[in-house]
Chains A and B, each alone.
Chain A
Amino acid sequence: MWNKLLSFNQIGVLYLFLFPVLGFSQCFDTEITEADFPYSHLADLTTEDDDWDQSMFPYPGEGAHENGANGADYTYKLTLSQPAVIYVTTCDELTNIDVQIGIYTADCDETSWVFFQDDSNTPIYYPDETNESFDFSCISGFESAPQYANMLPNIEWDAGTYYIVVDDRAGTPGTGSVKTWMGYSLLVDSTSTSGDSEEVNYYFSEGVFGGEYSDVYYGNGIGLETGDYSVEINPNGGNADEANLTSLESATGGALAGGEETVVLNLEYPNTPSGGEILTVGPASVFSIFNSVGVPLLDVDGISISLIDLLAPTIDFTDPENNSTDISTVSNISIAFTEAVQNSIDAANITYANATDCFILEEAVSGEILAFDIMSSDQIGFEITPDVQLPELTAIKLSMLSTIEDVNNNGFQFDTLRFLTADESPPQIDSSAMSSINDYVSLTFNEGVFSNNNGSGGLTLDDINYTFNANEGGTCDSISLTGITSNGGGALVGGESTIHALISLSAAPSGVETITLFPVDNASIFDAAGNSMNTGEISDEVTLLASALLISTDLADSNVYVDLGFSVGIYGNAYLSLAVYLEAFESSIETNSGTATTLTLTSLTNLENNALTGGEDSVRIHMVFNELPSGVETITLSPTTDFSIYSISRVPIPNGQIYGPIDLYDEHPPVGVDDVDDGETNVSEMDTITISFNENIYFRVTGNQVTLGELSPLITLKYDNNSGADIPFLIDLINDPPIISIYPAVGYDSESIVYYNFTAVMQDVNKNDDTYNFNATFTVRDYLAPRVEFDTLAFDNSYLDLIFDEEIYGTDQETGAIQETEIQIELFNNGSITDTVMITSLTRTDSNFLIGGEQSVRVNLEYNSTPSGDETMVVTVNNGVSIYDDSGNQMAAQALTDTIQLNDILPPSIEMISVPIDSFIRLMEDIPITFSFNEKIDSLEFTVTASVADSVKFDSTKSDSAIEIVLEAPFTSFDSITVYFSYIEDEDSLSTVDISYTYVTPLLGDYNLDSTISFIDLDTLVSRWDANDLNFELGPVTGVAPHFVSTPNSVFDIDDGMAFVQMWSWYQKTYGEIIRDTVVVGRPLNIIQHGDNLFIMMDDSISSGQIQFVYDPGETPIQFGSLSYDDSKITLTNHRPEKGYSILEFARSTVGVKDTFLIKIEKHIQDIEIYYQLMDERKRIVQKGTINANSSQLPSKVALYPAYPNPFNPVTTLSFDVPENTQGPVLLNLFDITGRKVETLINGSLLPGTYKIKWFPSQMASGLYFAKLNVGHITKTQKIIFLK
């Protein structure tokens, strides 16, 4: 900041130059030069005058400095002969006033000020409104605020003259004294740094002191301390990131006492500098280092020192890493140092030529040196390539020598890299051997083996395969591997180099059989390094040891023992100390359907039935059976275990050795059995009794095999437990083995009891004989379906009771009730109208629900009409009907009943009339009405009356079951005629009373019989009158409307018109009302309003129509224009002001031309609603809708709204507005996407208003269409999408 003072100093010079002589009076009090430094002076301002006004110095943003700085002052004129950095301060105990100091460059020229300071702790202000502050807490004699003195510690001035003014802020006269000091500022002349940057020398411009400012001021300053300095380091990418100032000392190495011009800073670096770090050292603050009078050192920026490289190179990384294992034998070695290195011997880069000065590659154990090549592109990273492949599983060492150094000669610390090369060879089988008792094969590998490729898991049976060769003369034809153990017989855990493959033999070997073992596949056996044994690795062939072989077997005729002969003597243990014993053998028997099923070995002897002593080559095994053998059984013998029987050579006979099968001899008579259980029930009526023998049978007497004819006398078959009749039967016999089949000739009776017996003495072919006696009594099943025994019809035909011969069910499981759907009734009406009968339910005869098991069932019936007694019916069931007896016998299709005659309970009635009662009776035609009865009628009474007419003429003709009544015209219009039957009796004297039929006569003139007299009828009258169609004549009439009686006179005349007018007028008066039908059909009404005139234009297709004008009730605001000028149309008008409407109906005889109605309306009437309905010649409604005339709410502009729905099919509605004051016709056209007009919906004049019109484009293709509305010169368009 002090540099800024220099610039203002130059400005001051400028002022001096511009205003050299503002006045020739003198404003300074003392004149000094730098030769007077250090200079001090005490000025008594109480005696000084006020030469300078310092109240107007501008404070930035705060106006002038007017706070009393215009007091008595004292001025020092300082002349510098050369540039200097000086201090000026009034901080002194003798300064006892609040003093402000200002600096000028021209005497008495206040405009030449260059800066000023009020207090030591306030900023220094400059004319350019900038300021600087260092907030110095001054010491002075102004006790309440000692900082009111000034401190300018570092003013850097050029040579020249300066006026230093100290001004009493209290005013004039001054209030005290001020002592001013000036001198050269305390500066750092230079610094120096030791080569290791651990020592920094500070050379000051004068002696320096530390401690508190006040201590220095009072002359009690002390030597600088480490806290007076600030030390910071910027790593700048280097290694050293921290520097500590450990001590200060004098140039001579002594402690600092204060006043030293040279100070030595001792530093340490926790991390050795690698070069490039920036060390910054300076005063801790402006209160740290002072000169002798307490002026501080302001070198707050300090000095910066760039540190040099002191860091030795180290290994950054290696590949392989140190102490790594399983390294490939063809690996290179990569090394990277932390910085570039070189060979310190020749100070050259490390290359192949001098690499051995720096690196040694060798086998770690043997010390064998390994030659290598070396490559490096930057002398930081090195690639070492051994000349030969490294040995497997060998420790390799790379020594990095201390001859390696960085480029700053920092030496590398000797280091080594060690690693172990990988095992890369698969395991091998070294040897194999057979155990002494043929129980395992021992395998020895060249290294420990595992079942997994990650050096884990012991081998299993899945890992080892074998080949077995019985060879010529071998008696053992197969073996199997049963397990694998360690050498000591324990479970394998992995890593074993010797294993035992346990084997099991199928038979005793003869000693020529051989075995080899090998891995199952290439992923079965691994070494610790994961190298897999190849399947081609096969063990040496091992040979089974010979055991005792069976050479003969001999079964006793009585099946009581069998003799076994061996090739050598046998023993019961491997020590040959025990004779073979009974439990050493196990036996089995295959019965083959024979009689003997169990075998027990009882003892073991030599062939002389003596006890064994050991070493016998023949033994006798005694045995017993549970039954005498029938000769089809076989037995086998074998050692109980693999270690039960040993040969004399101590080799055991394996358990797999089977002796046999040995066929037993037949000792058993034939065995016979029948298939009938005594007391058996539910036996089929054609059931066959079967007696089976297990072998052919012979008569003992004859010794011959039995024949069919010899069997028949031996059999008894009778009903009722041998007390009933004989049952004829047939016999079948088949032999080998014999099966005798006995069955009835025609089937047993249903539910009968049958007795049978067979008795005979017979033997087998070996003459083993026995007595046979079979007998049983059994019950034959119920196989007959239920049937109806009789039926009973209710007197009123409402039910039919069916009585069955047994209980019936709905299922064949003797459960459930039968359902009504199972039974059909065929009804024969025999001329009756009762032709349908329906089963409503089935119940018990006591009307309770069926639950199954009923013998009587009530069939409840309902008819389409009451039976007349002519009807008959038959009850049937179909095939598959769910009606069963308790044995599950299903009822077949059949008629359950004979033909049943229904009882007559029908009263007479009228079942049909030839003219429906909702029919109109033509007023001028006789009408015959035939009343048909439901049955023949014996007698009846009836009347014919009318509600309006006094009487009705009629004639009648009666037949057996009908009466024809002819009502005779004319009839009264709008009348009702009633035919009333007071009594009807049939031939069975059943009667009916009070039956009446009422017919309505139409309105005279209502040609279309729609119960109205409307324009449609008017149109009919006009057209028929014109055609002189007398069928449509109305008059003359009698009576009063609407109850006219018409008697046409074969001419259209005044009476016809009179009748129609009176009927129409009556209708309008009676039924006329506001239509209020807003359904829209076809185009809107073509209408123009011009002033009070409303012109309604009829299209040429319109034949007749109706237009109703609706307004507020009370007066008639419209007049129909004179209609007489156009006789081509017939009009009827009617005003109903009390109801608020007027109606105009018309019929035109000149269809094919356009026409116009003129309607006059009173302009002041608002909202006349017009309903219209127009028809063409074919009486089809072609235009219908409603519009408003004189509406108070009319559209203000032309609008065509989006069609709805859109897209659409088959119809959409277009809405549009026609505003007031519309000029010209309204045109609404439809265009297709090519711009072709496809239809015109509107082409005419419309009243202002909102309209809707439907569009049915049924004959058009689907796609995009445009609706275009033209109202005058305004056009509106909407898109429409038609979908099919």
Chain B
Amino acid sequence: MSIFNLLRVRIPVLVLCSFIFFTCDDATYDLDNPNDPENMDLEPPALFFHPSEIDTKLDSSFSMQLYGLKLKPAAAAHLDIRYEYGSVQIDSVVADTFFQSLNDPFQIVDDDSSGTLDYFIYLLPDTVAEMNEGGTWSLATVYFTAISTGGSELLFGENTKLRDANNDSVAVKSFGSGFINVE
């Protein structure tokens, strides 16, 4: 099932989640929190899930952000997200600020509905720059629905990669993982 078909049936949830997203304050981080990236044993530059663990209820919706840690300047990303099909389902993916310029980023979402989400996001150059300045930012937020109980893991797949404006690879030295516990 492609992400387009997925979104078609999940629009109400998407809208609701979007509403929540737009109305919340920006996240602030306490660096002594175990969930802080500095405490995840990741060698920057790295990609990780935030929060890395989520406890939720069956049929509940929740989200996890796809975060970059001390990334170099980039212009595009392919985030290959592996999740446990049958445990959770992906409702939508929303671009966050990492690839935001004066223009909204261009994004393509492809969920094969078998446990792999290919999320392509591109910075649209503006009059200022053709790529961002890098750093630690959320690349996107993935909205899930828990569809069965038990624990499942979220991983970055091997196809995950970033490119700069010259179409050269942007190094990612380590990848974090996430865990979802559904009761």
Q: Chain A interface (Cβ within 8 Å of chain B)?
A: 1022, 1025-1026, 1036-1037, 1040, 1052-1055, 1057-1058, 1061-1062, 1065, 1069, 1116, 1120, 1122-1128, 1130-1138, 1149-1150, 1153
* Chain B nearest CB, measured from A1256 CB (Å): 34
Q: A1061 contacts B106, CB within 8 Å?
A: yes
* Cross-chain contact of B22 among A1062, A1069, A1122, A1132 (Cβ < 8 A): A1122
Per the 8 Å Cβ criterion, residues 98-157 of B in contact with A are 102-110, 118, 120, 122, 124-127, 130
Interface 0/1 of B47-83, CB less than 8 Å to A: 0000000000000000000000000000111100000
Q: Which residue of A lies closest to B93 (CB)?
A: A1127
Query: A1130-B106, A1150-B7, A1153-B8 known; 10 other A-B pairs, CB under 8 Å?
Result: A1123-B104, A1125-B18, A1126-B11, A1127-B4, A1127-B92, A1128-B4, A1132-B103, A1132-B124, A1134-B126, A1136-B127
| Of listed A1052, A1054, A1135, residue having the most chain B CB within 10 A | A1054
A-B contact pairs, 12 of them (CB 8 A): A1022-B108, A1054-B76, A1058-B75, A1061-B76, A1065-B124, A1065-B130, A1123-B104, A1124-B95, A1125-B17, A1126-B11, A1135-B103, A1138-B127
Query: Which B residues are CB-close (under 8 A) to A1136?
Result: 127
CA A1037 – CA B77 in complex, angstroms? 16
Q: Which residue of B lies closest to A1058 (CB)?
A: B76
Query: Which B residues are CB-close (under 8 A) to A1153?
Result: 8
Q: B8 contacts A1057, CB within 8 Å?
A: no
CA A1025 – CA B120 in complex, angstroms? 12
Q: Which residue of B lies closest to A1137 (CB)?
A: B127
* Chain A nearest CB, measured from B82 CB (Å): 16
Q: A1124 contacts B159, CB within 8 Å?
A: no
Q: Which residue of A lies closest to B122 (CB)?
A: A1061
* Cross-chain contact of B94 among A1026, A1065, A1069, A1124 (Cβ < 8 A): A1124
CA A1124 – CA B14 in complex, angstroms? 10
CA A1040 – CA B166 in complex, angstroms? 8
CA A1137 – CA B127 in complex, angstroms? 9
Q: Looking at chain B's contact residues, is the secondary structure mostly helix, strand, loop, or mixed?
A: mixed
Query: Which B residues are CB-close (under 8 A) to A1120?
Result: 103-104
CA A1134 – CA B130 in complex, angstroms? 12
Query: Which A residues are CB-close (under 8 A) to B18?
Result: 1122, 1124-1125
Query: Is B40 part of the contact surface with A, judged by Cβ < 8 Å?
Result: no
CA A1124 – CA B7 in complex, angstroms? 12
Query: Which B residues are CB-close (under 8 A) to A1036?
Result: 167
Q: B107 contacts A1133, CB within 8 Å?
A: no
Q: A1128 contacts B7, CB within 8 Å?
A: yes
Query: Which B residues are CB-close (under 8 A) to A1132?
Result: 103, 106, 124
Q: B8 contacts A1128, CB within 8 Å?
A: yes
Q: B78 contacts A1053, CB within 8 Å?
A: yes
Given known pairs A1037-B167, A1058-B163, A1116-B102, the reply for A1125 and B94 (CB within 8 Å) is: yes
* Cross-chain contact of A1127 among B3, B75, B104, B118 (Cβ < 8 A): B3
CA A1126 – CA B127 in complex, angstroms? 26
Per the 8 Å Cβ criterion, residues 1-22 of B in contact with A are 2-4, 7-8, 11, 14-15, 17-18, 21-22
* Chain A nearest CB, measured from B98 CB (Å): 12
Nearest 9 Cβ contacts at the A-B interface: A1125-B18, A1054-B78, A1124-B94, A1149-B4, A1061-B122, A1133-B103, A1124-B95, A1065-B125, A1057-B120
CA A1149 – CA B7 in complex, angstroms? 10
Query: Which A residues are CB-close (under 8 A) to B76?
Result: 1054, 1057-1058, 1061
Q: A1058 contacts B95, CB within 8 Å?
A: no
* Chain A nearest CB, measured from B23 CB (Å): 12
* Cross-chain contact of A1026 among B4, B103, B118 (Cβ < 8 A): B4
Q: Looking at chain A's contact residues, is the secondary structure mostly helix, strand, loop, or mixed?
A: mixed
CA A1133 – CA B75 in complex, angstroms? 15
* Chain B nearest CB, measured from A1147 CB (Å): 11
Q: A1135 contacts B14, CB within 8 Å?
A: no
Q: B124 contacts A1133, CB within 8 Å?
A: yes
Query: Which B residues are CB-close (under 8 A) to A1055?
Result: 167
Q: A1061 contacts B124, CB within 8 Å?
A: yes
Query: Which B residues are CB-close (under 8 A) to A1134?
Result: 103, 124, 126
Q: B163 contacts A1054, CB within 8 Å?
A: yes
Q: A1057 contacts B167, CB within 8 Å?
A: no
Q: B107 contacts A1054, CB within 8 Å?
A: no
Q: Which residue of A lies closest to B125 (CB)?
A: A1065
CA A1122 – CA B106 in complex, angstroms? 12
Q: B122 contacts A1058, CB within 8 Å?
A: yes
* Chain B nearest CB, measured from A448 CB (Å): 130
* Chain B nearest CB, measured from A231 CB (Å): 125
* Chain B nearest CB, measured from A1045 CB (Å): 12
* Chain A nearest CB, measured from B117 CB (Å): 11
Q: A1057 contacts B104, CB within 8 Å?
A: no
Q: A1130 contacts B102, CB within 8 Å?
A: no
Q: A1125 contacts B120, CB within 8 Å?
A: no
| Of listed B77, B104, B161, residue having the most chain A CB within 10 A | B104
Q: A1054 contacts B124, CB within 8 Å?
A: no
Given known pairs A1128-B7, A1150-B7, the reply for A1057 and B14 (CB within 8 Å) is: no
| Of listed B4, B7, B22, residue having the most chain A CB within 10 A | B4
Q: Which residue of A lies closest to B167 (CB)?
A: A1058
* Cross-chain contact of A1150 among B8, B130, B161, B163 (Cβ < 8 A): B8
Query: Which A residues are CB-close (under 8 A) to B122?
Result: 1057-1058, 1061
Interface 0/1 of B147-180, CB less than 8 Å to A: 0000000000001010100110000000000000
Given known pairs A1026-B2, A1054-B161, the reply for A1124 and B107 (CB within 8 Å) is: yes
Q: B93 contacts A1054, CB within 8 Å?
A: no
| Of listed B18, B127, B167, residue having the most chain A CB within 10 A | B167
* Chain B nearest CB, measured from A1114 CB (Å): 12
* Chain A nearest CB, measured from B113 CB (Å): 14
Q: Which residue of B lies closest to A1125 (CB)?
A: B18
CA A251 – CA B125 in complex, angstroms? 148
CA A1062 – CA B167 in complex, angstroms? 9
Q: Which residue of A lies closest to B111 (CB)?
A: A1127
Query: Which A residues are CB-close (under 8 A) to B167?
Result: 1036-1037, 1055, 1058, 1062
CA A392 – CA B78 in complex, angstroms? 145
CA A316 – CA B126 in complex, angstroms? 125
Q: A1127 contacts B7, CB within 8 Å?
A: yes
Query: Which A residues are CB-close (under 8 A) to B14?
Result: 1125-1127
Query: Which A residues are CB-close (under 8 A) to B22?
Result: 1122
* Chain A nearest CB, measured from B68 CB (Å): 15
Q: Which residue of B lies closest to A1041 (CB)?
A: B167
CA A908 – CA B94 in complex, angstroms? 66
* Chain A nearest CB, measured from B4 CB (Å): 4
Q: A1057 contacts B106, CB within 8 Å?
A: yes
Query: Which A residues are CB-close (under 8 A) to B104?
Result: 1120, 1122-1124, 1131, 1133
Q: A1125 contacts B107, CB within 8 Å?
A: no
* Cross-chain contact of A1053 among B21, B92, B159 (Cβ < 8 A): B159
CA A1134 – CA B127 in complex, angstroms? 9
CA A1036 – CA B94 in complex, angstroms? 25
Query: Which B residues are CB-close (under 8 A) to A1124?
Result: 18, 94-95, 104-105, 107
Query: Which A residues are CB-close (under 8 A) to B118?
Result: 1053
Q: B120 contacts A1054, CB within 8 Å?
A: yes
| Of listed A1055, A1058, A1135, A1153, residue having the most chain B CB within 10 A | A1058
Q: A1125 contacts B106, CB within 8 Å?
A: no
CA A241 – CA B106 in complex, angstroms? 125
CA A902 – CA B130 in complex, angstroms? 69
Q: Which residue of A lies closest to B92 (CB)?
A: A1127
Q: Which residue of A lies closest to B108 (CB)?
A: A1057
CA A1058 – CA B130 in complex, angstroms? 12
CA A1130 – CA B105 in complex, angstroms? 10
Query: Which A residues are CB-close (under 8 A) to B159?
Result: 1053
CA A1131 – CA B76 in complex, angstroms? 15
Query: Which A residues are CB-close (under 8 A) to B120?
Result: 1053-1054, 1057
CA A1069 – CA B17 in complex, angstroms? 35
* Chain A nearest CB, measured from B13 CB (Å): 11
Q: A1135 contacts B4, CB within 8 Å?
A: no
